[in-house]
Amino acid sequence: MIKQNIQIRIKDIAERAKVSIGTVDRVLHNRGEVAPATRKKILQIIEELDYQPNILASTLASKKSAVFATLFPEPPSKEGYWSKPLKGVKKRISELGQYGVQIQSFTFDQTDSKNFVHETERIVELHPDGVVLAPFFKKESLEFIKKLKKLEIPFVFIDSEIKDAGHLGYIGQDSYQSGMVSGKLLDLLVQEGNILVVHFAKEMDNQNHLVQREKGFYDWYKKKEGNIHEIFTTDVPDTNDAKWMMKIESKIREKNIRGIFVTNSKVFHIGQLLEKLNLKHIKVIGHDLLKENVECLKNDLVQFLICQRPEEQGYNSVNKLFRSVVQKREIAKRNYTSIDIVTKENIDYYKEFK
């Protein structure tokens, strides 16, 4: 690809392709009829010249700003997981000041689907130009999506995805594949005994990304020849109820549990419980670089954390809306973030905890 230090114009492309400016314009905006051979030739020249349309000039000329809304779970603390995607969102918005792009942030209680619905109603009233949505509650998310479609408001999924929902795109991990990776890691750690999958969440049937992680985890063991482990699953809807600890301890002792997979960022609860029960021989895998999780990792209470760069997700989700809504560009449907495997030995190389 030829890199240019000057602004490439439509006129330059037209001259090189030996066609009219109107023909190039029809190819760029995918409208009107253009002979296939001519279209192919023009697209090749566009790629060679690395043509970038002067979107800023046209956007400023229109004097119309875009307002995007985000709907994320309320983080339980300033260092909670969901504070990080919002940092990425704000960073990208700060870079788009010249375009007049604005953001309105909405949050909901992770334990309350009714609160989620309330916040979606506020967004509908706002009628934004685009929405970044964490579809935490699947059923309620689908109802919200119906309203967005009716209003012709494009939306992007972040963190988890509902298939075939009509979304503009998805930014986040492949939750199923993340579960597969966790299964392989725990399989390498646990040579005997059984495995326990723990969900710290209410309404598990409605928690799409956790369901996919669990499915990927189970499928790893189903596909493995000669599997000797039996897998059990338990849900913990409320950690404020101390009975959950008795429930987990009972499972560990009765089912000969030697490995535990926690499907979300609350793995520190298991690490702290194992320390209290003096069961440090049990191997544990969980998610996300929360401060409490990192402490468990460094103290050998958790062996691996599966991480997904939440700030990057927030940044890219807004960028995807911007490129589609403001710049009118075609964008990729899925943008999977990396599945990072973090250990005690490499945690200090992640900037959040240096």
Task: Give the CATH number for residue 199.
Answer: 3.40.50.2300
Write down the pTM of the prediction.
0.72
CA 265 to centroid of chain Cα atoms: 14
Q: Which residue is listed with tokens 């609160």?
A: 115
Are 185 and 164 in a shared domain? Answer: no
Whole-number Å distance between alpha carbons of 253 and 258: 10
Are 165 and 314 in a shared domain? Answer: yes
From residue 174, how far is each of 126, 163, 185, 340 by CA, in Å?
31, 12, 17, 12
Let me know if residue 3 belongs to a domain: no
Write out the two tokens for 235: 């849900």
Let me know if residue 233 belongs to a domain: yes
Let me know if residue 1 belongs to a domain: no
Let me know if residue 353 belongs to a domain: no
Are 259 and 208 in a shared domain? Answer: yes
Are 302 and 318 in a shared domain? Answer: no
Are 181 and 296 in a shared domain? Answer: yes
Q: Which residues contact 317 (CB under 8 A, 6 or more apart)?
A: 70, 85, 88, 89, 132, 156, 158, 171
pLDDT at 62: 47
pLDDT at 179: 96
**Residue 63 CB coordination number (10 Å):** 7
Are 71 and 46 in a shared domain? Answer: no
pLDDT at 313: 92
pLDDT at 60: 45
* Cα angle value 135/141/142 (rounded, 5°): 130
* Exposure of 67 in the CB half-sphere (CA atoms within 13 A): 8
Are 114 and 158 in a shared domain? Answer: yes
Closest by Cα among 182, 181, 136, 143 to 165: 143
Are 179 and 300 in a shared domain? Answer: yes
pLDDT at 206: 57
Whole-number Å distance between alpha carbons of 299 and 343: 11
pLDDT at 244: 93
Let me know if residue 247 belongs to a domain: yes
- Total count of domains within the chain: 3
Q: Are 274 and 248 in contact (CB under 8 A)?
A: no
Question: Would you give per-residue pLDDT tens digits along the chain (354 residues)?
Answer: 444 445 677 878 888 889 887 788 778 766 667 888 888 888 888 888 877 665 444 544 444 578 999 999 998 777 778 888 999 999 999 998 888 889 999 999 988 889 999 999 999 999 999 999 999 888 899 999 999 999 999 999 998 888 889 999 999 889 999 999 999 999 999 999 999 999 998 766 557 788 889 999 999 999 888 888 999 999 998 888 889 999 999 999 999 999 999 999 899 999 999 999 999 999 999 999 888 999 999 999 999 999 988 899 999 999 999 999 988 888 877 788 889 999 999 998 886 544
Provide the 8-state DSSP code for 335.
Answer: E
Closest by Cα among 76, 48, 56 to 322: 56
Range of the domain at 283: 175-307
Let me know if residue 144 belongs to a domain: yes
Are 314 and 214 in a shared domain? Answer: no
Let me know if residue 235 belongs to a domain: yes
